[in-house]
Chains A and B, each alone.
Chain A
């Protein structure tokens, strides 16, 4: 997996941070030193760190030292310096007055957090790693320069990918790529392509995988990124290896090894050696395989990668086994088991047990072979159970959180309804206030008119001109009042309009929300269905195979006993019966099997298998128009199982020599006819056995009609019809 390195050059380019400029000199010094030995380089940087005076250059140096130590797989020292760095950055962020310094130290902190995350990931502490990167992402999101966020996405995706959570990984890579493509950070873009390639590889899409790796290599060659080239070459090699193309794979592993040697990438070199070793072993070239695997082991011991050492030892044991050096093989494996136990790598332990069992078997030590085989099986089951319970827990957690979300949504809905009601009430209050106001004014008007009349009566005998003047004056007043009331009318209308548009908007939002929510539900349902299928298929493969082997072993035991043992016979029959039932369930819930054509294929094959064994002739005819129809799960299940029940009854009880099956379609009505020429039974006398009862129940469940006709000596006639 590629890592995006801290983006120092970008930091230095930040305009107006003049003080930082001279750091360029240090960085130049560092890159000159890059050609020298890795360790020397780090030591000299640590020396500079002791004497450096400028805060900004101290920051850059701290980041570089942490990253270089990480690259050299010296995790404990890297973590030690990271701790120091974080303290220093936090101090500087709180002390800095100017925005540019705050953002500079924030960037440094983001880099440092990501570095810590990468170390945790290398140590297998995925949850801690995710915590670090998420914290970094939170910080980076606040900064105006988005590139920091890009590398956080990349780191997160890397972890999700290791956990096998490909959708989440892809989401994060796309987040990273989107940001990176807006920059000229070629190294980052190259990493992203490499990682997208890895996801495709994990999903067995080899063509796309190689395409993306090649694109990554193109960019890395352009910028001379040896370490990255080593990774991408290794990835192409592994892709070819998985396809079985050994020659191409070896070519790419060798290129990878060359680049990694030049870059001093020890962990990477060990991976290339392992890749080569496996291929040489596959080709039967034991000597080469031994040499490369030993080289990988040596490096891993140097860097203290325990998981890796165990893997290498197991690889070596395979070579010893091929050379029939069984004791050496067993020795290596015992060491590997011990190491794997120290770090709790269950999968590795499991593989070692299996390898040990194989070697003891080759050696002829069957007791030990069986012992290790048992341990292997037990461990495998326990890992399988752990995974399943984890999946189930995840499912129920998801269900709970969905439920909570829904509750919150309901509450919010109610809240918004309440707000609406309040608003309505306020508006009607406002309206009545306005009306009151208007009435008051009317009353005032009336009062003033009355007053006027009074004064008219009072002043009846005064001058006419004065009266006229007063009337004119009053008329003016009246007009003014009328105007006022008109304005108030308009106000009311405005308010009503506002209210109506608010209501309309809210209704629209509700409709929109409903559709979005429904869409979300459907996608959740689909996801659940997929998980359900995976569980069913896993169960089927694992339990099915085990049951099959029980059936086989019971036969072996019978043969060894040399006589008929009814209990053994029963064991075989019962285990096959369970497989059969399970196969029906898995088939029924598989949404890919919902075409009628599929049902017909399965019926035809069942009829052939059951009837051929009893040498009963049959004819199976199906209307071709049925093929295009699709059947819901419930109908599919019931129709098929009814068919199966009927056919089984014929095989068991009928003594028939000929059976007719016919499926026809008429006006959206499907008819299934099963007729045999066997002994039959009297439907009025024969008690309703479980079989017949079940068939009736199944017909009822799909709203169909079931007709069973039979008379003694004339066979049985079964007719099912149902609408679709």
Chain B
């Protein structure tokens, strides 16, 4: 079974390039390439992808908003963000909105395919950049609130600190005397907490504005 991929990218050259790269590679098929997030539902239903590659910055509905909508309606579809800059704020926001990972646009093509395969297989790699951002959020919230807003456990925070310092999953496993699988479980839990937090925050905001 080929991995079905849909691309949302406003630059026509990039869109065409990704389309051809994915279609020309064994094990992948591009079922749709779109310039924006208009008519998202219809386009996704038509292309029924396993993985979506989504540009963070697009005119109209942004990629971050796009992920949020995708995840609300099709939680089983994996989303890989695509960005020009290492903009930690936007990357962090898309992770909170439910994205599984991100790639920089100048990543070599082979690595792009690798990343698509990795999220398809359920991996959610946590880079030092994201880890640093999460820890910063936790720290900035703690003094005022009684407990940290994401409800991270001490072990999870410890793993994040190791990631910020550049340690690989293998080294972290050794450092904390746990298996690599356990490290993976911890990281998946961190992702889940971020997304649950962002969802509950969105609901709270909506209630405040009488939108629900």
Q: Is A288 an interface residue (CB 8 A)?
A: no
Tell me, rounded to whole Å, the shortest Cβ–Cβ distance linking A123 to chain B. 29
B108 adjacent to A605 (CB under 8 Å): no
B24 adjacent to A605 (CB under 8 Å): no
- Which residues 26-59 of B have a CB within 8 angstroms of A? 38-39, 42
A619 adjacent to B14 (CB under 8 Å): no
Tell whether A583 pairs with B85 under 8 Å between CB atoms, given A282-B38, A544-B105, A545-B105.
Answer: yes
B84 adjacent to A541 (CB under 8 Å): yes
- Which residues 608-626 of A have a CB within 8 angstroms of B? 608-609, 611-613, 617-621
- Name the contact of A284 in the complex, choosing from B20, B42, B165 (C-beta under 8 A): B42
Tell whether A549 pairs with B14 under 8 Å between CB atoms, given A244-B60, A559-B25, A608-B127.
Answer: yes
Which chain A residue has the least Cβ–Cβ distance from B60? A244
Which residues on B sit within 8 Å (CB–CB) of A551?
Answer: 17, 106, 108-109
Within the assembled complex, what's the spacing in Å between the Cα atoms of A263 and B40?
A: 38
- Name the contact of B21 in the complex, choosing from A556, A601, A612, A661 (C-beta under 8 A): A556
B108 adjacent to A572 (CB under 8 Å): yes
Tell whether A545 pairs with B14 under 8 Å between CB atoms, given A555-B110, A556-B24, A572-B109.
Answer: yes
Q: Is B129 an interface residue (CB 8 A)?
A: yes
Q: Is B88 an interface residue (CB 8 A)?
A: yes
A553 adjacent to B129 (CB under 8 Å): no
Within the assembled complex, what's the spacing in Å between the Cα atoms of A284 and B43?
A: 12
Mark the stretch among B145-153, B166-174, B186-194, B204-212 that contacts chain A: B166-174
Which chain B residue has the least Cβ–Cβ distance from A593? B85
Q: Is A527 an interface residue (CB 8 A)?
A: no
Tell me, rounded to whole Å, the shortest Cβ–Cβ distance linking A68 to chain B. 39
B165 adjacent to A605 (CB under 8 Å): no
Which chain A residue has the least Cβ–Cβ distance from B42? A284
Q: Is A337 an interface residue (CB 8 A)?
A: no
Which chain A residue has the least Cβ–Cβ distance from B112? A552
B106 adjacent to A576 (CB under 8 Å): yes
Tell me, rounded to whole Å, the shortest Cβ–Cβ distance linking A657 to chain B. 11
Which residues on B sit within 8 Å (CB–CB) of A560?
Answer: 24
A339-378: CB near B (< 8 Å → 1, else 0) gives: 0000000000000001000000000000000000100000
Within the assembled complex, what's the spacing in Å between the Cα atoms of A183 and B210?
A: 40
Which residues on A sit within 8 Å (CB–CB) of B17?
Answer: 548-549, 551-553, 556
Tell me, rounded to whole Å, the shortest Cβ–Cβ distance linking B150 to chain A. 20
Tell whether A583 pairs with B106 under 8 Å between CB atoms, given A544-B84, A552-B17, A605-B128.
Answer: yes
User: Among the interface residues B61, B86, B168, which one has the most CB atoms of the partner chain A within 10 A?
Assistant: B86
A556 adjacent to B20 (CB under 8 Å): yes
Within the assembled complex, what's the spacing in Å between the Cα atoms of A552 and B86?
A: 20
Q: Is B201 an interface residue (CB 8 A)?
A: no
Which residues on A sit within 8 Å (CB–CB) of B132?
Answer: 601, 604
Within the assembled complex, what's the spacing in Å between the Cα atoms of A576 and B84?
A: 12
Tell me, rounded to whole Å, the shortest Cβ–Cβ distance linking B187 to chain A. 15
Which residues on A sit within 8 Å (CB–CB) of B12?
Answer: 354, 373
Which residues on B sit within 8 Å (CB–CB) of A604?
Answer: 128-129, 132, 164, 166
Within the assembled complex, what's the spacing in Å between the Cα atoms of A621 and B161?
A: 10
Q: Is A644 an interface residue (CB 8 A)?
A: no
Which residues on B sit within 8 Å (CB–CB) of A373?
Answer: 12
Q: Is B13 an interface residue (CB 8 A)?
A: yes
A579 adjacent to B129 (CB under 8 Å): no
Tell me, rounded to whole Å, the shortest Cβ–Cβ distance linking A148 to chain B. 41
Q: Is A580 an interface residue (CB 8 A)?
A: yes
Chain B contact residue count (CB 8 A cutoff):
37
Q: Is B182 an interface residue (CB 8 A)?
A: no
Q: Is A546 an interface residue (CB 8 A)?
A: yes
**Secondary structure type dominating chain A contacts:** helix
Which chain B residue has the least Cβ–Cβ distance from A373? B12
B80-92: CB near A (< 8 Å → 1, else 0) gives: 0000111010000
- Name the contact of A617 in the complex, choosing from B21, B164, B171 (C-beta under 8 A): B171
Within the assembled complex, what's the spacing in Å between the Cα atoms of A86 and B209?
A: 56
Tell me, rounded to whole Å, the shortest Cβ–Cβ distance linking A439 to chain B. 85
A interface bracket (residues with beta carbon within 8 Å of B): 35 or more
Tell whether A546 pairs with B24 under 8 Å between CB atoms, given A608-B166, A620-B166.
Answer: no
Q: Is A540 an interface residue (CB 8 A)?
A: yes
Q: Is A607 an interface residue (CB 8 A)?
A: yes
Which residues on A sit within 8 Å (CB–CB) of B39?
Answer: 282, 284
- Name the contact of A621 in the complex, choosing from B20, B110, B165 (C-beta under 8 A): B165
A553 adjacent to B60 (CB under 8 Å): no
Tell whether A548 pairs with B105 under 8 Å between CB atoms, given A284-B39, A284-B42, A620-B128.
Answer: yes
- Which residues 60-87 of B have a CB within 8 angstroms of A? 60-61, 84-86
Within the assembled complex, what's the spacing in Å between the Cα atoms of A551 and B109?
A: 7
Q: Is B118 an interface residue (CB 8 A)?
A: no
Within the assembled complex, what's the spacing in Å between the Cα atoms of A555 and B42?
A: 31
Q: Is A421 an interface residue (CB 8 A)?
A: no
User: Among the interface residues A284, A545, A553, which one has the most CB atoms of the partner chain B within 10 A?
Assistant: A545
B91-122: CB near A (< 8 Å → 1, else 0) gives: 00000000000001110111100000000000
Within the assembled complex, what's the spacing in Å between the Cα atoms of A579 and B129?
A: 21
Which residues on B sit within 8 Å (CB–CB) of A545?
Answer: 11, 13-14, 105
A550-571: CB near B (< 8 Å → 1, else 0) gives: 0111011001100000000000
B129 adjacent to A601 (CB under 8 Å): yes
Which chain B residue has the least Cβ–Cβ distance from A376? B12
Which residues on A sit within 8 Å (CB–CB) of B42?
Answer: 284
Which chain B residue has the least Cβ–Cβ distance from A380? B12
Within the assembled complex, what's the spacing in Å between the Cα atoms of A354 and B35?
A: 12
Which residues on A sit within 8 Å (CB–CB) of B38?
Answer: 244, 282
B165 adjacent to A620 (CB under 8 Å): yes
Q: Is B134 an interface residue (CB 8 A)?
A: no
User: Among the interface residues B14, B21, B106, B129, which one has the most CB atoms of the partner chain A within 10 A?
Assistant: B106
Q: Is A403 an interface residue (CB 8 A)?
A: no
A619 adjacent to B105 (CB under 8 Å): no
- Name the contact of A555 in the complex, choosing from B85, B109, B129, B165 (C-beta under 8 A): B109
Which chain A residue has the least Cβ–Cβ distance from B106? A579
Q: Is A242 an interface residue (CB 8 A)?
A: yes
Tell me, rounded to whole Å, the shortest Cβ–Cβ distance linking A212 to chain B. 21
Which residues on A sit within 8 Å (CB–CB) of B160?
Answer: none
Tell whether A617 pairs with B16 under 8 Å between CB atoms, given A282-B39, A544-B105, A555-B109.
Answer: no
Within the assembled complex, what's the spacing in Å between the Cα atoms of A540 and B14?
A: 14
Q: Is B18 an interface residue (CB 8 A)?
A: yes
Tell me, rounded to whole Å, the shortest Cβ–Cβ distance linking B172 to chain A. 11
Tell whether A619 pairs with B167 under 8 Å between CB atoms, given A242-B60, A551-B108, A605-B127.
Answer: yes
Which chain B residue has the least Cβ–Cβ distance from A590? B85
A257-276: CB near B (< 8 Å → 1, else 0) gives: 00000000000000000000
B166 adjacent to A619 (CB under 8 Å): yes
A553 adjacent to B20 (CB under 8 Å): yes
Q: Is A587 an interface residue (CB 8 A)?
A: yes
Which residues on B sit within 8 Å (CB–CB) of A547?
Answer: 106
Tell me, rounded to whole Å, the shortest Cβ–Cβ distance linking B45 to chain A. 12
Within the assembled complex, what's the spacing in Å between the Cα atoms of A620 and B168?
A: 12
A residues at B contact (CB < 8 Å): 242, 244, 282, 284, 354, 373, 540-541, 544-549, 551-553, 555-556, 559-560, 572, 576, 579-580, 583, 587, 601-602, 604-605, 607-609, 611-613, 617-621, 661
8 pairs of A and B residues whose beta carbons are closest in the complex: A552-B17, A555-B109, A549-B13, A549-B17, A545-B11, A620-B166, A579-B106, A618-B166
Given A555-B110, A620-B165, 14 other A-B contacts at CB below 8 A? A544-B105, A545-B13, A548-B14, A548-B106, A552-B20, A552-B21, A602-B86, A604-B166, A608-B166, A609-B104, A612-B168, A617-B167, A617-B168, A620-B128
